[in-house]
Structure 1
């Protein structure tokens, strides 16, 4: 992935904040919520690490196969969970995209990882690789279309609302949902990661 350094750092900040909130969601009392939050936290921090500008840090060559292996294991776990819930299919596509970008970086020539000099010139970040003159690869295009559609659909569905959970307080009132259990924040979290994925795929 290549682009202006400030934009790359904004992407790092967005993905890191999203991953941190997903860690908070892992404290939920709902098992399914905790399981989903764990996978999303891994995705958020993985995207943040991948988006770090190469001018600041260039991962060693062995890091990309490790990335692919970690997200491959996450994909297998998600595939198993997806048997009983179609919701997990989106997480499966996300982990597949991370594997794809990791493999692309692992097989990229060394020249694809260096930063360009000069003010205003594009600076390479961790997820960039060279295409040559062949244009956008089919897999990149398909993933880009999927995540663009996901972002647009999720954004349209993200309607602010006061959310409560079942249960009553000692006074008989409705108990407000905790931060880790609020569904609209979980949807906003996934929307943020979808936006980050679109940005990374556009920059490939």
Structure 2
């Protein structure tokens, strides 16, 4: 059975919106897009490459899928992380998932909890979720996340979309790894606490 791992860039005040570029997501007038760029370093890059190369597949919301498709589907496959993304299955949760141009992309249809549980049952390895705020909140609401890998950036943005809302429920996780990058990014890995 597969595990579901959420990998997210997050600010000190919990914002996950538009981390990579100014035009990624301007919803709500968000003006701080690209906030992770000043903190990129070899440790952060290596962590993200390992998370990608080690995945058995990606589980994405529609918007994240479109952003990643535009950025990586035609990129140079000589980079191991790009080659892995192009090769691995990409499962897209969307009500309009009929047009999925990136190779090896598949729609996830039906009720979220049962569809994702079935996907985990037939996966050997980690299904990784990048970004996808609405999807992450839905997964948390249905208690489907096995691991959070959070890259906490030393910035307060003051506004923007947050990773969580108040629809989730109590779920306990144990800190299994932590690394501080040279630029001050704290990389925290939390796995489902099996003792509870």
TM-score category of the 2 structures, normalised to the smaller one? under 0.3
Hey, which of these two has a bigger chunk of helix by percent? 1
TM-score normalised by length of structure 1? 0.27
Structure 1 or 2: more strand by fraction: 2
Which protein is bigger by CA-based radius of gyration?
1
Q: What is the TM-score with the length of structure 2 in the denominator?
A: 0.28
